[in-house]
């Protein structure tokens, strides 16, 4: 790959060149991570031998701390080695929709959006808000977030499903306990190497005014784009840019990714998409209880965490790792 990428004829075929450079970058990352793990392991062995020779208890204690960090690194590294599905290394589109329940559900949807934004920030992923529909009083009705970075989809695809919140409502003057639902959808960002044919005759394209906090542009021009793919019923929308042409291009990329994800799921015989009017009981993947006790529980793996506020602040790695590990050991899609 090094020889091919240094060739003078590299860019005669731009599609092949991009594919080569992408695969080369992926291999370089894999080799780099392996070399890092190998060196860290070797260094720890040398330090342990030194501690034994010098009978140094303080050095041994220091090494134990390094071993714990190395163990955490290797646990994640091991799981990522199972990212063998076609799109696992891709960036990710994340969609959040509030369920029935008005303001309660819309506030919960916004809390989930913040959770994923905080998780992305902690892991060095860049994010872009492509579409957001605000609630009447608080929260959001829906949002589409692009999380850009290697393996984002591999980590987040297990988040697709219904998330349930139980809490004392801040919107209820009688301080009663409410149950709210929101759905999360995850699909990979399709790159240029993936050929998805879209027939223009299969599309309905609508323009509408952007919604948001206001300003000179918002709500004054019909720059937002909504595209409906009639054969599948897939709907994508974008209002991130002032330019209608830019929003249209982004929406087409999103549609391409959605159709790509549908094909992947058909191949895996796991096409179980969630209809928006079914956001409620029976399809939950995770429950977040704030009253009468504090607990977040994944209903698929049994993983639990009593620090609800930390989870809602983006500390969801335990759930992502447990979900991925369960898929691996069950012989699932990874």
- Alpha-helical (H) ranges within 86-172 are 103-122, 152-156
Distances (CA, A) of 237 to 97, 105, 144, 313: 13, 21, 8, 27
Tell me the pLDDT tens digit for each residue of 57-79: 888 888 999 999 999 889 888 88
Domain boundary among 21, 52, 80: 80
**pLDDT at residue number 271:** 34
Q: Check residue 207 and give left, alpha or beta (phi > 0: left; psi -120 to 50: alpha).
A: beta
Provide the residue range defining the domain that includes 185: 89-334
Tell me the pLDDT tens digit for each residue of 281-325: 457 899 999 988 999 999 999 999 999 999 999 999 999 999 988
Residues 284 and 174 placed together within one structural domain of the fold: yes
**Domain harbouring 115, CATH code:** 3.30.70.1660
Residues 276 and 301 placed together within one structural domain of the fold: yes
Which sign does the torsion angle of CA 321, 323, 328, 334 carry?
negative
Residues 26 and 59 placed together within one structural domain of the fold: yes
Residues 140 and 16 placed together within one structural domain of the fold: no
**pLDDT at residue number 331:** 60
Low-confidence residues of the chain: pLDDT under 70: 86, 191-195, 211-221, 266-282, 329-334
Query: Does the predicted model carry a pTM greater than 0.85?
Result: no
Domain boundary among 34, 57, 80: 80
Domain boundary among 26, 51, 80: 80
**pLDDT at residue number 39:** 94
- Count structural domains, the chain: 2
Residues 70 and 105 placed together within one structural domain of the fold: no
Residues 76 and 96 placed together within one structural domain of the fold: no
Residues 108 and 192 placed together within one structural domain of the fold: yes
């Amino acid at each position: 790959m090094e020889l091919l990428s240094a060739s003078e004829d590299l860019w005669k075929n731009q599609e092949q060149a991009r594919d080569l450079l992408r695969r080369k970058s992926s291999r370089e990352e894999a080799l780099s991570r392996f070399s890092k793990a190998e060196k860290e392991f070797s260094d720890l062995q040398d330090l342990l031998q030194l501690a034994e020779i010098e009978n140094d208890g303080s050095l041994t204690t220091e090494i134990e701390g390094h071993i714990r960090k190395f163990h955490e690194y290797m646990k994640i590294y091991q799981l990522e080695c199972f990212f063998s599905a076609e799109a696992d290394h891709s960036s990710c589109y994340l969609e959040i929709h509030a369920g029935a329940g008005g303001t309660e559900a819309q506030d919960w949807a916004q809390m989930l959006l913040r959770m994923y934004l905080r998780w992305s920030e902690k892991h060095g992923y860049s994010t872009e808000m492509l579409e957001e529909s605000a609630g009447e009083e608080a929260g959001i009705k829906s949002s589409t977030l692009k999380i850009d970075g290697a393996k984002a989809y591999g980590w987040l695809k297990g988040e697709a499903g219904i998330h349930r919140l139980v809490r004392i409502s801040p919107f209820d003057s009688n301080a009663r306990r409410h149950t709210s639902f929101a759905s999360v959808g995850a699909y990979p960002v399709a790159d240029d190497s993936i050929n998805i044919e879209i027939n223009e005759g299969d599309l309905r394209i609508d323009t509408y005014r952007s919604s948001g906090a206001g300003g000179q542009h918002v709500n004054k021009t019909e720059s937002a784009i909504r595209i409906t793919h009639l054969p599948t019923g897939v709907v994508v929308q974008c209002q991130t840019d002032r330019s209608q042409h830019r929003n249209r291009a982004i929406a087409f990329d999103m549609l391409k990714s959605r159709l790509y994800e549908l094909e992947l799921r058909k191949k895996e015989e796991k096409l179980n998409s969630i209809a928006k009017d079914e956001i409620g009981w029976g399809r939950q993947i995770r429950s977040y209880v704030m009253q009468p006790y504090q607990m977040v529980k994944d209903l698929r793996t049994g993983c639990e965490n009593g620090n609800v506020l930390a989870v809602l602040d983006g500390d969801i790695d335990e759930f992502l790792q447990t979900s991925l590990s369960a898929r691996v050991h069950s012989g699932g899609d990874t």
